[in-house]
Structure 1
Amino acid sequence: MTKFALPVLFRPSVEFIGAEENDAILELETLFLSMAHRVAQQEGVAHRAVHAKGHALVRGTFQVHGDLPPELAHGLFAKARCFEALVRFSSPPAEQLPDTVSTPRALALKVLHVEGERAAGSLPGHSQDFLMVNGPAFTAPTPAGFVGPAKLLAATTEKMPRTKTVISATLRGAEAALEAVGLQSGKLKGLGGEPQRHPLGETYFTQVPFLYGPYMAKFSLAPLSPALQALAGTAIPNEGDAQRQAIQSALASEEALWAFNVQLCRDLERMPIEDASIAWPEEVSPWITVATLALPPQRSWSGLSEQTEKSLAFSPWNALAAHRPLGAVNRARKRVMAVSRQFRSNFNRCPITEPDGSN
């Protein structure tokens, strides 16, 4: 049986603010707010500044497993309990593009009625959010490294939809060629080269680290039920709302199960906190299942879903203190998402509320 190093205890010194960080975050705030403004002016409604297009908004349960080993029994996972949960499937960027422009798949999980001390900056209420995408590492190591891609997104927002579709097809071909030889490119995927695969067959990752009680960890969701596992790598049509239709069809008549996994930091050199572009190696620290997300058969999108989206927000900082976000990218997300959330609420004249009724 393979033995792994003990998890690294969190200490404040593992986080550090680089010289360029504040200026980069200020620039990202301006860029993402400008995208939100442009989309709102064009479409008459303010969407999220990232992951604007929703494909499904569904209800389920989040079952924390019992008898977890001591290193895993912390925070939300301290004891066995079943929570209500909301799950939103979406894709970037800030505009409502057809799925012929294929960008990364995203999943936001909101675990409801959670008890415990809240992280500073948490939304009012009693939920724990986890934001994930279908890749293990972020496209840039720090906020400064993401300014360039953000400028490109801002420059093309609400422009050239037909050209974007053509470019996306070209990039998907380039990505397929890379994957054929065992490689992949996060940049190609982010620009529109994401393979047209079923979103329910994907594995989703937080990409960035969080506290895990006294330790540090990343989180993931992996298909668990045979029906979902069979969708891994399955192609979907290259058309306008293909993801929405694929999810609706899959969830219409069969329960869907995901394993919620934790990867503890066991080596700070190979599993850094401040470089979000590095996937933590599984041979150093394997993913361990601590909970199960279950979605019963249901209608995954409707007019009600679209209306609910206007008043609902997901944030990595909407969290228990035991799972506070760590690292520069998370610090950037705290400020950028707060600005976007406030603009969306003001423009739509719709207060952002938590599902448990808290404002």
Structure 2
Amino acid sequence: MTQPPVHYRPDVETIEPDEAEVQQELAETFRKIIETTHADTGQALRGVHAKSHALLQGQLDVLDELPPEFAQGAFAVPRAFEVLVRISTGSGDLLPDSVSILRGIAIKLVDVDGERLEGSEGARTQDFLLANGKAFPAPGPKKFLANLKLLAKTTDKAEGLKKAVSAVFRTVEKGVAALGSESPALEQMGGHPNTHPLGETFFTQAPIRYGDYIAKLGLFPRSPNFQALQGEEIDIAGRSDALREEIARTLAAEGGEWELRAQLCRDLENNPVEDASVAWPEEDNPYVPIAVLRVPAQESWTWNRARRLDDETSFNPWHGIEAHRPLGAVMRARKVAYAASVEMRGRLGGCPIHEPSTADLSA
């Protein structure tokens, strides 16, 4: 029998004595990456997920008649939210797509009611950040910092070598996948298969508060056209922006849908809050549908959209309401690191990063 969900309490989190020092070092590493790319490109790029492949507007429809434990927070009642969606890859460089690393999708809900998280006062948005792996590549902020330092050392270095290494790691990852497993570390270093982003499944990886409970979220292809792209490999030969081009090919002709699902924490030992590298077992605790994310046919990437969503907007799990407070050491580290990133991007770019009040990208 499925266990009842664990109720959220502040003491589900355990703060380590040296967390503040690690967080500050993370923030400095983000700044170093941004300084490096700004010196080379003149652009105030993100410290991670610098390259966007799709910049979309759409709608998130909360499902009717959700069970009480899933009708929580922004999903408490059926309603439609305007949303902004950004699909990207994880590097701080603007790398060609032949360097194939983990992908991410960021969703920003507009006009969300509820008590605001600290640092998010005055806004009415809710951000969810997801990546295409069930678990975060690091259990906590110390390993997160070590991984980020490696990225910082290789930012804007030896692009040709990165392409060659990525090709080798993709081959190794295929062997790992054939054994019924996956390697977040290999994928983070360039071993992610060159599959179509619209066919990918994405996860918050680290947990969030889910109203009275605790959850991880997952985004799954729902429309037949997105489902048909699952596992489809893209020909990247000679195409620096292959992912952007393939997404545009689909979305210029037709829209599509994802299904947003939630997996509730039901056992703090098997569903840990602090160790983000653990995928919560799904055998008797599956991801349950809570909403449908719809994007209409549209021009999925333009320079004007890039100016607005890449240069003037940030996506941050700490943009939101208390009912969806990010949880665990990795999420706490993100709060400090992302704030530092936003401050530096705004200063170097000459335009403060701000929260949009609408999801209309037509202007």
Show the counterpart of 1:282.
282
Show the counterpart of 1:153.
151
Report the alpha carbon displacement of residue 123 of structure 1 after superposing the two structures with TM.
Answer: 6.0
Show the counterpart of 1:66.
64
Q: How does 1:309-348 map to 2 (within 5 A)?
A: 309-348=310-349
Q: Is the 8 A contact 1:65 1:291 kept in 2?
A: yes
Report the alpha carbon displacement of residue 283 of structure 1 after superposing the two structures with TM.
Answer: 1.6
Report the alpha carbon displacement of residue 61 of structure 1 after superposing the two structures with TM.
Answer: 0.4
Show the counterpart of 2:294.
294
User: Whole-Å Cα distance in 2 between the matches of residues 129 and 258 of structure 1?
Assistant: 16
Q: Aligned with 1:16: secondary structure?
A: coil
Q: How does 1:1-359 map to 2 (within 5 A)?
A: 3-122=1-120, 124-238=122-236, 239-308=239-308, 309-356=310-357
Question: Normalising by the residue count of structure 1, what TM-score does the alignment of the two structures yield?
Answer: 0.97
Show the counterpart of 2:361.
none
User: Whole-Å Cα distance in 2 between the matches of residues 160 and 124 of structure 1?
Assistant: 43
1:250-282: per-residue Cα shift (whole Å, max 9, x none)? 111112011000000001110000000000111
Report the alpha carbon displacement of residue 100 of structure 1 after superposing the two structures with TM.
Answer: 0.7
Q: CA RMSD in A?
A: 1.3
Q: Which amino acid aligns with 2:219?
A: L
Q: Which amino acid aligns with 2:97?
A: D
Q: What runs of 5+ residues in structure 1 fail to find an aligned partner?
A: none
Q: Aligned with 1:218: secondary structure?
A: strand
User: Whole-Å Cα distance in 2 between the matches of residues 64 and 38 of structure 1?
Assistant: 41
Report the alpha carbon displacement of residue 22 of structure 1 after superposing the two structures with TM.
Answer: 2.2
Q: What runs of 5+ residues in structure 2 fail to find an aligned partner?
A: 359-363
Q: Is the 8 A contact 2:144 2:330 kept in 1?
A: no
Report the alpha carbon displacement of residue 147 of structure 1 after superposing the two structures with TM.
Answer: 2.1
Moved over 4 A (4+): none
Identity %: 46
Report the alpha carbon displacement of residue 284 of structure 1 after superposing the two structures with TM.
Answer: 3.7
User: Whole-Å Cα distance in 2 between the matches of residues 20 and 237 of structure 1?
Assistant: 46
Report the alpha carbon displacement of residue 290 of structure 1 after superposing the two structures with TM.
Answer: 0.7
User: Whole-Å Cα distance in 2 between the matches of residues 333 and 234 of structure 1?
Assistant: 32
Q: Is the 8 A contact 1:20 1:144 kept in 2?
A: no
Q: Which amino acid aligns with 2:344?
A: F
User: Whole-Å Cα distance in 1 between the matches of residues 187 and 272 of structure 2?
Assistant: 24
What is the total number of aligned residue pairs between the two structures?
Answer: 356
Q: Is the 8 A contact 1:56 1:305 kept in 2?
A: no
Q: Aligned with 2:274: secondary structure?
A: coil
Report the alpha carbon displacement of residue 115 of structure 1 after superposing the two structures with TM.
Answer: 1.3
